[in-house]
């Protein structure tokens, strides 16, 4: 059995090579948005490179709302009980173009979990977002960071009318809960981890100019 440290290094090493193998450093090609898959891990697990070059994204806009913990509330008794509270909210938006960086990884109930920061000020897991790999191999949002002085955060799918809840993606056999939004038609939507893949269409042509026959 591999030690937890070896597991973490193996996952980060695989991700770092993926960053190079998909051509993130190339500047002359069109980038496609793709999910991280188990096949990519298996293909690149034997190679080593730095993980700093890899940038990850979300497939859909994520909105996280924090409400201040009882800030500005009053309580008075005058024949009846009167309460008032000025709600102070903090809204964090992570768009499809917001670049994130993987800062840590761990095992979560037997599945890989990646910790992603979308802020240059965040370097620890306490302020990062957790994405866990589900049975289909996709890394989906599993953890939203808490903030001091605020209540537990609420996550929304694309807009604030679509609040997400935690639950099993497909069945109770799933190892971890993920954030879900269930549409009226029964379809389930999640926030997935995406990478950009560049494909260089290069062509090499050798030209021979014959002199002809006289």
Residue 24 confidence (pLDDT): 43
0.85 exceeded by pTM: no
- Under the banding of pLDDT at 50, 70 and 90, the label for residue 49 is low
Domain chopping of the chain, boundaries: 4-199
- Under the banding of pLDDT at 50, 70 and 90, the label for residue 191 is very high
Question: Does residue 104 register a pLDDT over 70?
Answer: yes
Q: What angle do CA 34, 18, 143 make, to 5 degrees?
A: 65
What element of type H or E holds 198?
A: strand 193-199
Question: Does residue 171 register a pLDDT over 80?
Answer: no
In this prediction, residues 88-100 reach a mean pLDDT of 93
pLDDT tens-digit series, residues 196-214? 776 666 666 766 777 667 6
Residue 32 confidence (pLDDT): 76
Least confident of 68-82, 170-184, 191-205: 68-82
**Which has more confidence, 55 or 202?**
55
Please say whether the dihedral angle defined by the alpha carbons of residues 4, 116, 122 and 48, taken in this order, is positive or negative.
positive
Nearest to 132 by CA among 156, 117, 110, 112: 112
Contacts of 5 (CB under 8 A, 6+ apart): none
Query: For a pLDDT cut of 70, what percent of the chain falls above it?
Result: 63
3-state secondary structure of 93: strand
Most confident range, picked from 9-18, 25-34, 129-138: 129-138
Residue 158 confidence (pLDDT): 94
What average pLDDT does the structure give for the chain? 78
């Amino acid at each position: 059995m591999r030690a937890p440290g070896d597991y973490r290094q193996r996952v980060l090493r695989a991700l770092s090579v993926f960053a190079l193998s998909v051509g993130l450093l190339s500047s002359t090609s069109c980038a496609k948005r793709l999910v991280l898959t188990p096949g990519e891990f298996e293909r690149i697990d034997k190679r080593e490179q730095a993980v700093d070059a890899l940038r990850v994204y979300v497939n859909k806009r994520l909105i996280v709302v924090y409400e201040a913990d009882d800030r500005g509330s009053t309580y008075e008794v005058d024949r009846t009980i009167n309460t008032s509270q000025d709600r102070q909210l903090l809204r964090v938006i992570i768009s499809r173009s917001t670049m994130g960086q993987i800062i840590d990884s761990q095992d979560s109930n037997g599945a890989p979990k990646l910790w992603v920061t979308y802020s240059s000020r965040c370097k620890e897991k306490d302020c990062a977002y957790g994405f866990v790999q589900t049975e289909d191999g996709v890394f989906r949002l599993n953890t939203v960071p808490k903030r001091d002085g605020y209540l537990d955060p609420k996550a929304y799918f694309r807009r604030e009318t679509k609040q997400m809840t935690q639950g099993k993606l497909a069945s109770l056999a799933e190892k971890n809960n993920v954030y879900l939004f269930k549409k009226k038609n029964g379809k389930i939507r999640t926030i997935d981890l995406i990478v950009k893949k560049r494909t260089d269409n290069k062509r090499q042509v050798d030209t021979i100019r014959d002199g002809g026959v006289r």
